[in-house]
Structure 1
Amino acid sequence: MRSPHVGQGSNSANVRRYNERLLLQALRRAGEASKADLARLANLTSTAVGSIITALSANGLIEVSGRRLDGQRGQPASLLRLAPRGAFAIGVRLDRTNIETVLVDFAGRMLARRSHDMLLPQPCVAQDIVQGDIREMLGMLSIGERSRVAGIGVAQPYNLGSWLRELGLPTDVFGVWNDVDFAGELGRAMALPVFSENDGNAAAIAEIFYGCGRQRADFLYLFLGPAIGGGIAIGGDCVRGLTGNAGDFAVMPVPPGRLPSAYRPSGQWDILLSRASLIALRRHLQYSGETIDSRADLEACIARDHPAVQEWLDDCIDALAPALRAALCVLDVPAVVLDADVDAGLIDTLMERLRVAVAATAPEARGTPALVRGTFGPDAGALGAATLPMFFNFSPRAGILMGAGAQNQEVSHVAL
C-alpha cells in the first residue's frame, strides 16, 4: 500500500478508512474506471484496491457499469462507478431573500427541490418550512434508502443580522438570527446529523467535490448572490480560516460606488457587497423604476439589456476587479471560478468584463489566472449545503468540516 499523508498516530482502521475515501474520490473524478485504473489513480496496490472494491460494493456504494471494449487482449475489464442510490443527502440553503431545500443522491444528482423566494422570516417560521420540505423529501425514499441518508447540510451567511443597511433590509426581521442555532434545532427535530457551514464555503465545496474541483485542486471561488460569497480551494480542500470566514469577499473594503441608488457609507470606505451583489442590482433597477420581486424579475431585466443593468455592471466590475487582484496577489492560484444566482447572459458578461479588468491590473511580471464558469449556477448554494454531509462522510480531506456542530459525528450506516 502506497497511500500518502496518513498521520503517525493512525491505526489500521483509520488507514483503511482513508484509502476507501481516496478510492471513492478517484472514482468520482473519473466517472467510471477499472480496478487497474483505480490502483493508478489512488496510488494503491491492486491487492488493496481489490479488497476495498469488495467492501464498497457490499455497502452498495459502487457498482459495475459495464465492461471496457477497446480491443484489448483477454477478458474485458469491468468498469466501476459510484452507485447513485448508495447514499443520499439533504441540503438547506438559507439566504436573506430565499429558502431552498434539495435532496441529492451519491452521484450529486438533484432528485427534488423546494424553493421559497421570500424575505427570510422569523426562525420558528423558517424551521416549519424547512422541516416540512425535508419530511416530504424523505417520503420520496424507500425505508431502506432512508437508512442511507448521510445527513442534512445547512448553508447560510454568517452574521445574518449584519450589514443590513448596506443590503437595504429591515433590522427587526434579521436581528434575531444572530442568536439562533438553526442547524442544531433542525438536527434535534429531524433526528439526523446536521453539518453547518458558511454558504460561500459550502458552494465552493460543491465545486471541489462535484464540479471543476475534479480537474483543478487550487482555485478561488466567487458566487454572486443577494450578497457576494466565496471560498478558497487549496490542494483539493476548502480553506476555512480561524472563524470559517476565509474567502469572505463580501466585506473587502472598496471605495464608495458612484451609482445614484447606492447607500452612502459613514466613512471613507464601503464594502464589496454594497456594489458587487444582486441586491445592489435590484436596488438600482428599483431606483430606475422597475418592480423587482424575484430572481425571475431580475433575469427579465438582464435579458432585455436594461440600461440600469449596464450601469450596475460598470460599478460592480470597478469594485470587484481590484478586490480580486488583491486576493490573487496573496493566494497565487491558477484559476478563479465564477458563478451566480441568476443568468440570462449575466455570468458570461461578468466573466468577459472581469477577465479584461483583472488583466489590466496585473503587476509587472505577473499573469492573470484562468477565469472559469461555475458548474451549478442558481443551484450552487443548495447543492453546496447537500454536499456537506457527503464531503464529511466520503472525502479523504473532510477534517475541515469537523466544526459547527459536526465534531465527531459519523453516520454508521454510510460513513467510511
Structure 2
Amino acid sequence: MISEGPGRGANSNSLRLYNERTLLQRLRRAGEASKADLARWAKLTNTAVGSIVQSLEDAQLIEPAGRRQDGQRGQPAGLYRINHEGAYGIGVRLDRTSIESVLIDLGGNILARESHDLLLPDPERALAIVRKDVARLLTVLDAGQRRRFMGVGLAQPYNLGSWLRELDLKADFRVWDEVDFGAMLGQAVHHPVFRENDGNAAAIAELFFGVGREESDFLYVFIGPALGAGAVMGGESLRGATGNAADLGLMPVPASLLDSAPPAERRWDILLSRASLNSLSRHLRHHGVEVRGNGDLEACVKAGRAELNEWLDDCVDALVPSIRATLAVLDLPVVVIDCDIDGGLVGELLRRVDAGLRLIAPEARQTPRLLRGSFRADAGAIGAASLPMFFNFSPRADVLRGRSHRHPLETTHA
C-alpha cells in the first residue's frame, strides 16, 4: 500500500488515497498517459498529480512508458503505465466439483496455477489442498516480489449445501454452510484473505482487468456448473446486504419442459436449474451421451448435437426474461456473458439472448449491448485473485468514507 503521509487529517488521508487510486484506474483504462492527461481526467492540479505520480512510481505501481511521439511542439510528454510487477495476488476458486488456484500480477496475467477436478471434499481436506497450492504458487515469486504480494482472494458459491437437486448433484455439502473457510484459510496461509461469492468475484475481474477498462456499468453473467452473476454500477461492485446482489441464478422461472429436468417441486423453479452447465450435462446424459467434464461438453457444442440445441432453447427461454427483469431494477446499459466452455457456445448465447431481449423490449427502453466476457474458464480464478488487487487499489466510495483498509469480508491471519 502507498503511504498516506504523516501529519494529515483523516479526511485528507482518505482524499489523497482516493485520488491515488483514481489515477491508477485511469492509467489502467488508458494503457498509457501523461501527467497532463491524468490531471485533466481527474480534475486535479498539475502539482497534485505530479506528487501522486511520484508516490505511485516510488511504490513501483506505475512505470515510465517513454515519451509521446505525436508531432506536438516542445518537449514530448513523458508517459506512464501500470507496472505489472507492482503487485501480486493469489486467487482460490472453490466450486462443488473443482478447486483451482492461480497467481496473477497487477496486469491480470496468470503466472502459475494449480487445479483439481474433484467433488468438493470436507473443509479440512479442502484446506490441506489449498494450503499446499498457495505455498507452491508463492515459490514462483522472488523475495522482492513477495514484498508486493497483496493477499489471497477466495471465491466460492454461497450456500454450497443448497440447490443440489437443481444442479443434479448427488452429494452433501451442508457442512460447508457451517464453517468460515475464509477464516480457516487466513490462519493457515498467514496472509490476508478477501472473500466474495464467485459471481461477484468474476464481475470484479471484468471490472478491474476486462471490460471495466471501458465500461463502468454492466450486468455480468457467468454460466458454469451453476450460474453466477454480479452487477457493477459507477465502477463499483454492487454487493447488497449479504453479498448476494444480482444473484441471477435464483431468479424465479417456470419449470423446464425438457424431458431431462427433475420433477418440479413447486410452481416456480430457479434459473440455475435451466441455465447452467450442470443442466446441460444432465440433458446430454439423459440422452445417452457420456459427459465426464468440460472437454466432453465442448465437444458436444462443436458437434452441434440436437440435444445441445434443445438445452439452448430452454436455457435462453428462462435467461432472457430474467436478464430483462434485472435490468428493469438496476438500469444497466451493458450485459457481459461468459462461460466455463466455448467451442462457439458463448457466441450462440450472445446471439440468442440479444434476439430474445429485442423481442420483449418494453416501450421506451432500449435493448442492452451484449459483450463477451474476457476470461472464459479462468473467470472464477482470476476473479478470486483480483480481490486483493481490487480492494487495495480501486477507488471505491469506502475510501472517501475512511474505510479503505478492510474489505467487509477480509480475514486477517492469526
- Common fold: TM-score over 0.5: yes
Q: CA RMSD in A?
A: 1.5
Name the residue aligned to 2:266.
Answer: 267
Q: Distance in 2 between matches of 1:398 and 1:108?
A: 23
User: Deviation at 1:47?
Assistant: 0.4
Partner of 2:107: 107
Per-residue Cα deviation, 1:37-85 (whole angstroms, up to 9, x for no partner)? 1111222111011101111111111111211111112222111111111
Distance change (3 Å), C-alpha of 1:398 and 1:374: farther
| Corresponding position of 2:65 | 65
Where does residue 92 of structure 2 map in the other structure?
92
8 Å CA contact 1:338, 1:351 repeated in 2: yes
1:326 Cα offset (Å): 1.1
Residue 290 of structure 1 deviates from its aligned partner by: 1.4
- Please list every run of at least 4 consecutive aligned residues from structure 1 whose deviation after the TM superposition is greater than 3 angstroms: 398-401
User: Which residue type is aligned with residue 128 of structure 2?
Assistant: D
Residue 304 (structure 1) aligns with: 303
Percentage identity across aligned positions? 58
SS in 2 for 1:150: strand
Q: Give the corresponding residue for 2:74.
A: 74
Find the residue that maps to 2:410 and give its secondary structure.
Answer: coil
Q: Give 3-state SS (helix, strand or coil) of 1:152's partner.
A: strand
Superposed CA offset, 1:332-369 (max 9, x none): 21111111111000000000001111111112222211
Q: Alignment partner for residue 403 of structure 1, among 402, 405, 408?
A: 408
C-alpha contact (below 8 Å) 1:392/1:398 kept by paired residues: no
SS in 2 for 1:11: helix
Task: Please give the alpha-carbon distance, in whole angstroms, between the structure 1 residues aligned to 2:10 and 2:143.
Answer: 35
**Contact 1:88–1:150 (8 Å) recurs in 2:** yes
Asked if structure 2 preserves the Cα contact closer than 8 Å seen for 1:57 and 1:63, the reply is yes
How do residues 320-399 of structure 1 correspond to structure 2 at under 5 angstroms?
Answer: 320-397=319-396, 399=398
After TM superposition, the structure 1 = structure 2 runs for residues 15-414 of structure 1, keeping only pairs within 5 Å, are 15-172=15-172, 174-397=173-396, 399=398, 402-406=407-411
Q: Separation in 2 of the partners of 1:42 and 1:352? A: 37
| Aligned position for 1:5 | none
Summarize deviations over 1:349-390 as a string: whole Å, max 9, x none: 000001111111112222211111111111111111011110
**Which deviates more, 251-260 or 364-373?**
364-373
Structure 1 residue 225: Cα displacement: 0.7
Deviates most, 118-127 or 26-35: 118-127
- In structure 2, C-alpha distance between the alignment counterparts of 1:118 and 1:27, rounded to whole Å: 40
> TM-score, structure 2 length as denominator?
0.94
Q: Quote how far apart the aligned CAs of 1:398 are.
A: 6.5
Q: Which amino acid aligns with 1:287?
A: H
Give the C-alpha shift of residue 253 in structure 1. Answer: 0.7
Q: Secondary structure at the residue paired with 1:151? A: strand
| Residues in 2 aligned to 1:258 and 1:335: alpha-carbon distance in whole angstroms | 29
What stretches of structure 1 of length at least 5 have no aligned partner? 1-8, 411-416
TM-superposed CA distance for 1:309, in Å, is 0.7
- Quote the Cα distance in structure 1 between the aligned partners of 2:409 and 2:76: 47
Distance in 1, matches of 2:224 and 2:93, equals 12
